[in-house]
Structure 1
Amino acid sequence: MLVSVYAVVHGWFNFLWFSNVALLGGLLAAWLESRRIASMMLVAVVLLELGWVLDFLLSMAVWGWAPLGVVHYMFNPEIPLFVRLLSLYHLPLPFVLIWMVWRLGYDPRAWRYMVGLGWVILLLTFALADADNNVNWVLGPGGQVQEWMHPVAWLAVVMAVCSGVWWLTHLLSAWLLPQRSIARCGRAW
């Protein structure tokens, strides 16, 4: 239901948000029992999604003011309530990905694959983005178009920051989550 509603309300371009990629990639990982895909989706979004969860919970505690500013759209009455309620998938997503990787084991190569996939997604969103569709903030922070540096320089900054977050998530995941052998886990991919 989420895919069809989002496609109608937001358009297909919306599915290039890393959170939507992780939602659909996590579904694929669960279906295939793929520790690599599950690990890639964890690396891609778990820290950012935990920030979303924190921002949402804090905004609920202080009646709509989002300290991090990433959930302001959840309080926008111009977006239908049903669509905003569908966005609550962000709440369980990081915990489901952590549980899935805990169960399947962490694939330490996942961050390399995620950097490649993530850069392709960022380049694609940069090529297709406009001021109204600033997916993954490739045109500027907070969904706004920035004007203080060349757009390609900004894209390089976004790619570097994302790569740093993915590297940090990889280090934490490799340290905290089990790394199962292929024989114990089943499929490696």
Structure 2
Amino acid sequence: MASQLPLGLKLGFTAWVLIWAPSYWVLLGPDNFLWLCDLASLLLWLGLLIESRRLVSMQLLAVTLVGALWTLDVAVAALIGMHPIGGTEYMFDSASPALVRGLSLFHLWLPVVAGYAVWRLGYDHRAIYWQTGLTWLVIPLSYWLTAPEHNINWVQGPFGQSQTSLEPCWYLVALMLAWPLVLYLPIHLLMLAIMRWRSHHRGA
């Protein structure tokens, strides 16, 4: 079967991963790859290479709203010096390596790549179940295996801040429920609507 994704996209993304992943490993450590957005880069890379509808659909859910919120926070902070959401303060911290800040710009274009791949391959409506399952695996691992001060996937508190309002176990449960409901479900519903519209117009 003929490839549905351009070879140039696969080669370009592979080159990006070969630069980004070793740099993050050295500068930030291996536990940083438990961030769902960082994990999404690796899974999207695999999805592009093997043209997996499921994998690219999962990562579209993982990165679209996260990327939009990250971009909004950085843009507002750059314009007025205030972070409306939080979590991107490192982008303006001179103590953070410039290479890390530069490579973090992948939050801007990762949703575009995922969206293009889904447009070409189609959307897997089961992706929300798979991505939710992955999230429910990664969030507890982030809590158990990483340093609390890193607050990976906000397991210590939302918006990059520690929380003390809830017991840690109840906060984790709330986080695991909120992540798919707030970040994945809206994109899932949007993609179902787009695919229905696309199928209707193809059949017209």
1:81 corresponding residue in structure 2: 98
Cα deviation code 1:107-144 (max 9, x no counterpart) = 00111111111100111111113322210001111223
The amino acid across from 2:171 in the alignment is W
Establish whether residue 14 from structure 1 lines up as the match of residue 14 from structure 2: no
Q: Distance in 2 between matches of 1:45 and 1:30?
A: 15
Of residues 153, 156, 165, the one that matches 1:139 is 156
Unaligned 5+ segments in structure 2 are: 1-18, 200-204
Aligned residue pairs total: 180
The 5 Å alignment of 1:122-137 reads: 122-137=139-154
Cα deviation code 1:132-175 (max 9, x no counterpart) = 22100011112232112110000011101012022222111111
- Higher RCO, 1 vs 2 (CA within 8 Å, ≥6 residues apart): 1
Q: Distance in 2 between matches of 1:155 and 1:91?
A: 28
Contact 1:105 1:180 survives alignment (8 Å): no
Deviation at 1:179, TM superposition (A): 9.6
Cα deviation code 1:36-61 (max 9, x no counterpart) = 00000111221111111222223333
Contact 1:105 1:179 survives alignment (8 Å): no
The amino acid across from 1:72 in the alignment is E
The amino acid across from 1:168 in the alignment is P
Contact 1:129 1:139 survives alignment (8 Å): no
Q: Distance in 2 between matches of 1:177 and 1:126?
A: 36
Of residues 1, 18, 24, the one that matches 2:42 is 24
* CA distance 1:141–1:101, change in 2 (3 Å): same
Contact 2:64 2:111 survives alignment (8 Å): yes
Contact 2:85 2:159 survives alignment (8 Å): no
Q: Distance in 2 between matches of 1:22 and 1:180?
A: 26
Q: Distance in 2 between matches of 1:87 and 1:53?
A: 11
Provide the identity percentage: 39
Of residues 112, 123, 132, the one that matches 1:106 is 123
1:37 corresponding residue in structure 2: 55
Q: Distance in 2 between matches of 1:107 and 1:137?
A: 28
The amino acid across from 1:172 in the alignment is L
Deviates more, 1:3-12 or 1:50-59: 50-59
Q: Distance in 1 between matches of 2:39 and 2:197?
A: 23
1:47 corresponding residue in structure 2: 65
SS of 1:156 mapped into structure 2: helix
SS of 2:133 mapped into structure 1: helix
Deviation at 1:91, TM superposition (A): 0.9
Establish whether residue 59 from structure 1 lines up as the match of residue 86 from structure 2: no
Contact 1:105 1:178 survives alignment (8 Å): no
* CA distance 1:38–1:14, change in 2 (3 Å): same
